[in-house]
Amino acid sequence: MALPDAHAQSVAGCLAALGSGPDGLSAAEAARRLGEHGPNRLAEVRGRGMAARFLVQFDNVLVYVLLGASVVTGAMGHWIDTGVILAVVLANAVIGFVQEGKAEAAMAAIRGLLAPRAAVLRDGRRVTVAGAHLVPGDIVLLEPGDRVPADLRVTVARGLFAQEAILTGESVPVEKSARAVAADALLGDRSCMLWSGTLVTQGTAHGVVVATGHATEVGRIGGLLAGVETLSTPLVAQMDHFARWLSFLILLASALLLAFGYFVGHHDFSEMFMAVVGVAVAAIPEGLPAVMTITLAIGVQAMARRNAIVRHLPAIEAIGSVSVICTDKTGTLTRNEMMVVAVETPEGSFEVAGEGYAPEGRVAPEGDLTRLARAAALCNDAAIGRKGGHWTVEGDPMEGALLAFAGKVAGRVEGARLDVVPFDSRHRFMAVLSEGPDGRLTHVKGAPERVLRMCSGIDAHDWHHRAEALARQGLRVLALAERSEPGARIEEATLEGSLTFLGLVGLIDPPRPEAVAAVSECRAAGIRVKMITGDHAGTAAAIARQIGLEHPDRVLTGAELDKLDDAELANLVTSVDVFARTSPEDKLRLVAALQARGLSVAMTGDGVNDAPALKRADAGIAMGRKGSEAAKEAADLVLADDNFATIAAAVREGRTVYDNLRKVISFELPTNAGEALTVVLALLAGLALPITAVQILWVNLITGITLGLALAFEPTEPGTMARAPRRRDAPILSGALVWHVVLVASLFLAAVFGIFAYAIDRGHSLALARTMAMNMLVVLEVFHLFFIRNIHGTSLTWTAVRGTPVVWAVVVAITAAQLAVTYLPPLQTILGTEAVPLRDGFLIVAIGAAFFALVEIEKQMRLGLNGRLGRSTPPVDQP
């Protein structure tokens, strides 16, 4: 049924050929066609295949070292060692493979949450359907910011422009209309077609679907396929880089050590070789990248559960470090559930009662509001209807409220639409020409200052005051006006000064209670909250007060903002929290000004023109419900529920993820350093190795990574939202971390050598002494894990000790594994272990507890000092 020459046919011809009409298809017919044509979707680029993903696990320095080592041990006839090394390599690859698979699945599921939707006419009614369910013949309604969901023949267009860069490479938007073009016109010249995947930048349109899925132009060229995103963030990339170079450093050092031991120390080569392999394995932080990736994936899922959908992974770090949040008002801080409560007309003031969007309720006192109600109903794109005994809106809630109001005053209003000037946040009004019982009338609604300018014969000054008075109560104010129109089109140029003023309506839009709580949470977390709205200054200030912003009464309007140069704006920007009547360009300037003050900015947006500000912000946040596709695509984060409280939740999750990444690093690095130092020291001092290479392999690759993995699941630490934001430029390898590595590595060293020396001293065999040393290491790791879980507070609370199910699961698993390798004869042969006497076992655990007490006391001393010196709350806005 696809229509290759739709551009050359008339609108009526296309509709007929597609078996459709101006009212669209019936639901039943659409379902039938969906079965016939299949979903409107392009096959996704397949990620790497399973086999490729598995093989990639072998592509790292450590694996090469181990494979090389297994060849050497094999050549020397040490078959058990060879077998253990190969088994560990395999186990490591399987763990990496499974983890990465989970992380990729998590990201794919998140992408599914962002599936596009489209507004269509079915059975003559406007409904929203999944973009995948569009079929040829559907009539699609488009607004600025919409991504065109299928190839469409335009049937109605008003001021329509589309950006077609993905097809034609032309980034300047091109004008579109419903007029047919020559049959041989090139793709870029078919101005009556809208191509799937392109962007509506201006105007509104209806279009009939002519092709879906792979039959579309973009489907045919195989473009637009979302690439597979790599699972990385700046921190993870930084660590990857660090780990890679560290590995080379370690290899070089190990080679030198081998040469030294063989030529200077005159050690036996095969023994020396195994020891050096042990050093390399111990020192290379091989578990780090895998565990960090999993930490990110878990963070992404946690955010999604809280309705914050991460589009770009780096955003997960950025959102955790923001120091200022710039948010919209309508629908984000307020509920976007509107109701007309006050009306002011030249005849007097009226109060309107009622409930939600039900067109029932009293208007008092009595009066004739029919002309106002007619304007409210006809200058309107929304629809209200009853769903399950409940009145709901399809479209803009404010317009729904106007329909409900009109219903209360005048019942049904008749009028056939002839022309429309769509609402645009730049000109802030909307006009509709319709034909009704009283002839042709143009109705205008919009921001009072804009509409009053178009009206004649009134005291504009007085009406401004009355509008202000309504706004001060926190009401959203609209002015309504009309004029009779001779022609069938609205002559926009002649609107100024020609309208008859009908009145003002005031709408309530109550603040979201959870937003009030979230704002105070953000303020406690050292994050400033600023409101940037298109609404009136008075309304904005009133809502800011109700929401609890810091400086609600100082309002800067877009007009005032335009008069400031960048330096003046940067000076003012930190002391003003409310920006009203702003344009999208103002948003961009505000982001830049805040960033110039060294702040890390989160900015929300919904319209197509907000995209530049969202891109510029450190964390761009788009509204999932009322936001345009263009805004969502420019954003790093999408709020599924449009709610400010979700931003606060995302900040909390972002901070948690960053903390957990830091915990993983703080856990793995000292463990590696401690193990490596143990072997190096023994070698240099010419002592017997307290732990063999094969045992190190076991401790490092199996127990270390498993324990580290528990940190990926760590919940938010208490007090996370009471800390000041972290500085974006703070290095990850901070002095504190280096100190932690040194301290913990030294303690590990002392404990392992200590227990080894004690065992030898008691007359235990070398194998038993080594078994005890290995168990010592694992016990230290477990205690270290419990310490690391609370880097910002104490580990000595019941909650901290109780831990989480994941922590205890890994501890139980590791303990079982340790008991097995220590006491089961077959495993004893492989790892060279001997059964540890019970008394010595207890001693090992007691040393672990002493280690825990030492590091915990050290932490408390440090936290106490930092607190007293006031270093825990760094000033954030100094560049």
The CB-of-425 to ligand ATP minimum distance in angstroms stands at 3
Catalytic residue of the set 138, 146, 328, 577: 328
Q: Closest CB to ligand ATP belongs to which residue?
A: 534
Q: Which of 137, 116, 153 is nearest to 26 (CA)?
A: 137
Q: Contact at 8 Å (CB) between 5 and 192?
A: no
How many other C-beta atoms can be found within 10 angstroms of the C-beta atom of residue 25?
25
Q: State in angstroms the smallest separation of the CB of 421 from ligand ATP.
A: 10
Shortest distance in whole angstroms from residue 477 CB to ligand ATP: 7
Question: Which of 216, 227, 229 is CA-nearest to residue 41?
Answer: 216
Tokens encoding 745: 């590595």
- Least distance (Å) between residue 330 CB and ligand ATP: 4
The residue with tokens 């730049």 is 426
SS3 category, 619: strand
* Smallest separation, CB 531 to ligand ATP (Å): 7
Using CB under 6 A as the binding rule, whether residue 425 contacts ligand ATP is answered as yes
AA identity, residue 642: D
Residue among 632, 655, 657 at smallest CA distance from 642: 632
> Using CB under 6 A as the criterion, what x/- string covers residues 472-511 for binding ligand ATP?
----x-x---------------------------------
Specify the residue, 467 or 776, whose C-beta has the smaller distance to ligand ATP. Answer: 467
Q: Which two tokens stand for residue 309?
A: 């959908």
Minimum distance, C-beta of residue 399 to ligand ATP, in the bound complex (Å): 6
How far apart are CB 507 and ligand ATP at their closest, in Å? 10
Q: Is the Cβ of residue 354 or residue 422 nearer to ligand ATP in the bound state?
A: 422
| Binding region for ligand ATP (CB under 6 A) out of 38-46, 125-133, 527-535, 640-648 | 527-535
> Token digits for 80?
């058990």
Beta carbon of residue 144, minimum distance to ligand ATP (angstroms, whole number): 12
Q: What is the DSSP string of 170-192?
A: --S-EE--S----TT--GGG-TT
Residue span binding ligand ATP (CB under 6 A) among the ranges 37-45, 361-369, 529-537, 808-816: 529-537
Cα separation, 31 vs 717, in Å, equals 50
Q: Which residues contact 453 (CB under 8 A, 6 or more apart)?
A: 460, 496, 497
445 binds ligand ATP (CB under 6 A): yes
Which residue lies nearer to ligand ATP by CB, 528 or 536? 536
Judged by CB under 6 A, the chain residues 281 through 340 that form the site for ligand ATP are 328-330
Closer residue to ligand ATP in complex, CB, 320/446 = 446
Considering the rule CB under 6 A, would residue 641 count as an interface residue with ligand ATP? Answer: no
Under 8 Å between Cβ of 151 and 211:
yes
Strand order in the sheet with 555-557: 308-310, 637-639, 619-623, 601-605, 324-327, 528-532, 578-580, 555-557
Out of 284, 430, 467, 721, the residue judged to bind ligand ATP by CB under 6 A: 430
State which H helix or E strand residue 841 sits in. Answer: helix 838-868
Looking at 88-96, 359-367, 441-449, 591-599, which segment touches ligand ATP (CB under 6 A)? Answer: 441-449
Nearer to ligand ATP, 398 or 844 (CB): 398
Q: Does 658 bind ligand ATP (CB under 6 A)?
A: no
Stretch touching ligand ATP by CB under 6 A, among 229-237, 361-369, 421-429, 844-852: 421-429
Q: How far is the CB of 460 from ligand ATP (least distance, A)?
A: 16
Exactly one of 535, 618, 636, 781 binds ligand ATP (CB under 6 A); which one?
535
Based on the shown chain and the rule CB under 6 A, indicate whether residue 840 belongs to the binding site for ligand ATP. Answer: no
Contact between 463 and ligand ATP by CB under 6 A: the answer reads no
* Minimum separation from the CB atom of position 375 to ligand ATP (A): 11
Between 286 and 642, name the residue whose CB sits nearer to ligand ATP: 642
Stretch in the footprint of ligand ATP (CB under 6 A) among 53-61, 287-295, 531-539, 563-571: 531-539
**Which is closer to ligand ATP, CB of 401 or CB of 697?**
401
Choose, by CB under 6 A, the member of 233, 345, 533, 706 that binds ligand ATP.
Answer: 533
Structure tokens at 607: 């319209």
Binding status of residue 428 toward ligand ATP by CB under 6 A? yes
**40-69 positions binding ligand ATP, by CB under 6 A:** none
Residue that is written with structure tokens 């006809």 in the block: 378
CB atoms within 10 A of CB 879: 7
Q: Which is nearer to ligand ATP, 198 or 533 (CB)?
A: 533
CB of 503 to ligand ATP, least distance (A): 14
Taking CB under 6 A as the binding criterion, the range among 29-37, 70-78, 532-540, 661-669 that sits at the site for ligand ATP is 532-540
Instruction: Give how far the C-alpha of residue 153 lies from the chain's centroid of Cα atoms, to the nearest Å.
Output: 35
Residue 467 interacting with ligand ATP (CB under 6 A):
no
Q: Quick one: which segment of 296-304, 422-430, 652-660, 827-835 binds ligand ATP (CB under 6 A)? A: 422-430
Report the alpha-carbon angle 531-533-534, nearest 5. Answer: 170
Each residue 371-400 as x (binds ligand ATP by CB under 6 A) or -, in order, gives: -------------------------x-xx-
- Residue 478: phi and psi, rounded to 5, are -125, 145
Residue whose CB is less far from ligand ATP, 440 or 476: 476
Of 550, 549, 591, nearest in space to 570 by CA: 591
Q: Which long-range contacts (CB under 8 A, 24 or more apart) does 238-246 make?
A: 238/732, 239/288, 239/289, 239/292, 239/665, 239/732, 240/289, 242/733, 243/284, 243/285, 243/286, 243/288, 243/289, 244/61, 246/283, 246/284, 246/285
Fill in the amino acid letter for 321. S
Euclidean distance between CA atoms 621 and 383, whole angstroms: 28
Among residues 423 and 698, whose Cβ is nearest to ligand ATP?
423
* Nearest distance in Å: CB 644, ligand ATP: 11
Q: Is 534 in the site for ligand ATP (CB under 6 A)?
A: yes
Give every CB contact of residue 867 below 8 A, 6+ residues apart in sequence: none
Which residue's structure tokens are 């040194």? Answer: 742
Angstrom distance (rounded) from CA 494 to CA 473: 34
Report phi then psi at 340, rounded to 5: -75, 125
Q: For the window 792-821, what string marks contact with ligand ATP as x by the rule CB under 6 A?
A: ------------------------------
Instruction: Tell which one of 195, 273, 405, 429 touches ligand ATP (CB under 6 A).
Output: 429
- Closest separation in Å from C-beta 534 to ligand ATP: 2
Q: State which residue, 580 or 772, has the beta carbon closest to ligand ATP.
A: 580
Respond yes or no: is residue 184 known to be catalytic.
Answer: no
Q: Which is nearer to ligand ATP, 39 or 159 (CB)?
A: 159
Q: What's the residue count for the chain?
A: 879
Task: Of 144, 186, 141, give the one whose Cα is nearest residue 163.
Answer: 144
Cβ neighbourhood burial of 626 (10 Å; 0-12, 13-18, 19+):
middle
Judge if the upstream peptide bond of residue 365 is cis by omega within 30 degrees of 0: yes
Choose, by CB under 6 A, the member of 137, 446, 503, 511 that binds ligand ATP. Answer: 446
CA distances from 753 to 254, 677, 785 (A): 21, 11, 21
The piece of 73-81, 293-301, 530-538, 594-602 that touches ligand ATP (CB under 6 A) is 530-538
**233 vs 380, beta carbon nearer ligand ATP:** 380
Q: Which two tokens stand for residue 596?
A: 């110039």
Binding site for ligand ATP (CB under 6 A): 328-330, 396, 398-399, 423, 425, 428-430, 445-447, 476, 478, 533-536
Active site residues: 328
